[in-house]
Structures are given as structure tokens and as C-alpha cells.
């Protein structure tokens, strides 16, 4: 046999190696591996129950992973500017709103509930945001300052105060 004949046998053997069945198996394996969520080692979130009696078991999971699990199980929508990367471990039980409050403890957030859905907007996050907000909202000492005069609330009171010469 000449070299052309041997080259043809090699191509025939290579063509058999990649049958449609094997190609399909390779593509299926690739798709399954690509679809697997990437979690940090040891992180786990289990959600059971319904919206009125939820039980969450979190093991070294980020707040984002817990909120994603709630979104997957209860149609919860969440968004915000704060990063939800703080890690938690523990058991949380109660209604959906109660569990959300406990999971997002330390974050500033807004919960909007309708008949069918719950929407959470996380405004600021973590203890750093809490300390910053506390310093910005520190009370100003008011010793020696008189409170501003109160204005009458009703039209009758305003008319009476004008008649008496008060501003």
C-alpha cells in the first residue's frame, strides 16, 4: 500500500471516533457543566416550607445566595446598590417578611408586598453603611435654643391669630 492509502484509512478511523452519538454526549456534558452554579466550597442554602412558614438552613452562604434561594422558591424579586457578600450560617424560621428582615439585618432595605409577589430593594449594606448613616444622623445639641413657634393648623385658628395680631 502506498502512503495515500494509509492516509485514507486514518481518516476513516478518525471519522468513526466522532460519531453523532459521541458528539451529542460531549455537547450534553459541556452544557451540564456550564449550567452548574459556581458556589464557594462549603456554602449551602436549603429552603423548605411556604411563604407563611419558611425554614432556611444556611451554611457559610452569602446573603446573595440566600436571597437567590428565596427568589427561586417564592418568586421574590430583589435588587439594590449594596453588595450582599456578607456570609451567614444559621437557621431562619418564620414568614417570608420575617425571614427577609433577619437575613438582611444590618442592611437598609425596603420591602414592597403585593398579593402575589414581594420586592426587596437593598439601599445600603452592612455595618459600615450603618455606622456612616449613624454619624450623618447624629443629633445636634439644642440646649439654649427655643423651638420655633407653631402655626395654627386650621383656617379658623389662622383667622383668629391674624385678628389678634399674631403672625
Cα–Cα distance, 105 to 126 (Å, whole number): 8
| In the chain, where the domains are located | 45-136
What nine digits make up the cell of 102?
A: 433577619
Distance between CA 71 and CA 75 in Å, rounded?
A: 5
pLDDT digit string (tens) for the chain, length 167 residues: 555 555 555 555 555 556 777 777 777 767 766 666 554 455 799 998 888 889 999 999 999 999 999 999 888 888 888 888 899 999 999 988 899 999 999 899 988 988 778 889 998 876 544 444 444 444 555 455 555 566 556 777 777 777 887 65
CA dist 144 and 65 (Å) reads 52
- Quick one: CA dihedral 114, 119, 125, 126, positive or negative? positive
For domain 45-136, the CATH architecture is: 3-Layer(bab) Sandwich (3.55)
Please tell me the pTM assigned to this model: 0.51
Amino acid at each position: 500500500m502506498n502512503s495515500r492509502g494509509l492516509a485514507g484509512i486514518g481518516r476513516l478511523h478518525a471519522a468513526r471516533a466522532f460519531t453523532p452519538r459521541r458528539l451529542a454526549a460531549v455537547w450534553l456534558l459541556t452544557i451540564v457543566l456550564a449550567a452548574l452554579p459556581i458556589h464557594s466550597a462549603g456554602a449551602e442554602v436549603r429552603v423548605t416550607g411556604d411563604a407563611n412558614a419558611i425554614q432556611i438552613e444556611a451554611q457559610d452562604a452569602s446573603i446573595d445566595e440566600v436571597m437567590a434561594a428565596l427568589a427561586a422558591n417564592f418568586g421574590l424579586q430583589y435588587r439594590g446598590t449594596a453588595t450582599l457578600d456578607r456570609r451567614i450560617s444559621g437557621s431562619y424560621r418564620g414568614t417570608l417578611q420575617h425571614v427577609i428582615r433577619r437575613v438582611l439585618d444590618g442592611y437598609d432595605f425596603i420591602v414592597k408586598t403585593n398579593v402575589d409577589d414581594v420586592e426587596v430593594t437593598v439601599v445600603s449594606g452592612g455595618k459600615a453603611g450603618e455606622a456612616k448613616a449613624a454619624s450623618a444622623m447624629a443629633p445636634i445639641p439644642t440646649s439654649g435654643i427655643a423651638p420655633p413657634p407653631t402655626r395654627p393648623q386650621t383656617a379658623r385658628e389662622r383667622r383668629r391669630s391674624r385678628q389678634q395680631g399674631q403672625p
